[in-house]
Amino acid sequence: MKLNFTGHTDPGLIRSNNQDDYYIDPEGRFFIVADGMGGHAGGEEASRIATREIKAYLTSNWDVSKPSPELLEQALWQANEAILQDQQNHPERADMGTTAVVVIFRNEEQWCAHVGDSRLYRLRETQLEQVTEDHTWVARAIKIGDITAEEARVHPFRHVLSRCLGREDLHQVDVQPLDTKIGDRLLLCSDGLTEELPDQKIAHNLQINSLLDQSALSLVEDAKDQGGHDNITVVIIALE
């Protein structure tokens, strides 16, 4: 199986800085998107630390005899601890945190780990599926039937996270195997994309743009055309 991949990030039209960060391993082994929060400097630092620590852990432990789910989980725990340590060293960033979504291709398997509301999607033929489940107040409310998905899109609590990196009370990282086959496209993204574009629009873009760079740029521009209220980051992986 051959992988083609690309990524793009943009501050959007409202914010002067970009608190998103992403990393693509040149060998196509792993992919990271992080969306920071906690003030101008805090959000940028939190997402940067998370990306750096996850990359460092995966790179240094890639060839050890450790199951991929454990490898992924430990990478995110290391990122959480690094952010907590930075908070102690810099009290002005004490409230910073970040989401993270990570995909790895290892030992003929594909796995995903995530914390927060940065998402992983899979496009198979014409069907777009959200693989990850948002760690947010509204996602929980939808699940138990308190509100509808349509209501969630405009709910005042839609940005309230129930989990993120950079918290002492983080007790769980979601890790799951991925069902993929040749022809699939995977999309990792921050909520700056999904806040602006419905799934149908995202799916249409991924289908009509055969060039991955063009697809990534088009998704970002479409989100900006709808307001670009937040930073926007996308990473696209094509399985060929």
Kindly give, in sequence order, each residue whose CB lies less than 8 Å from that of residue 45, ignoring residues fewer than 6 positions away.
36, 86, 90, 93, 96
How far is Cα 99 from Cα 116, in angstroms, rounded to an integer?
5
Kindly give, in sequence order, each residue whose CB lies less than 8 Å from that of residue 151, ignoring residues fewer than 6 positions away.
none
pLDDT digits (tens, 9 = 90+) for 72-113: 999 999 999 999 999 999 999 999 999 999 999 999 999 999
pLDDT for the residue numbered 68: 97
How do beta strands 3-10 and 232-239 pair?
antiparallel
Q: What is the architecture of the domain spanning 3-239?
A: 4-Layer Sandwich (3.60)
Query: 230 is written with which tokens?
Result: 């937040």
pLDDT digits (tens, 9 = 90+) for 104-144: 999 999 999 999 999 999 999 999 999 999 998 777 777 77
User: Could you state, in order of their start, the residue ranges of all structural domains in the chain?
Assistant: 3-239
Per the DSSP assignment, residues forming a β-bridge with 234 are 8, 189
Helix (H, G, I), strand (E, B) or coil at 135: coil
> Model pTM?
0.95
Look at residues 136, 71, 132, 133 and name the one whose alpha carbon lies nearest to residue 107. 71
Cα Rg of the chain, angstroms: 17
Report, as an integer, the average pLDDT of 3-8.
98
Helices assigned H by DSSP within 13-67: 40-61
How far is Cα 34 from Cα 19, in angstroms, rounded to an integer?
8
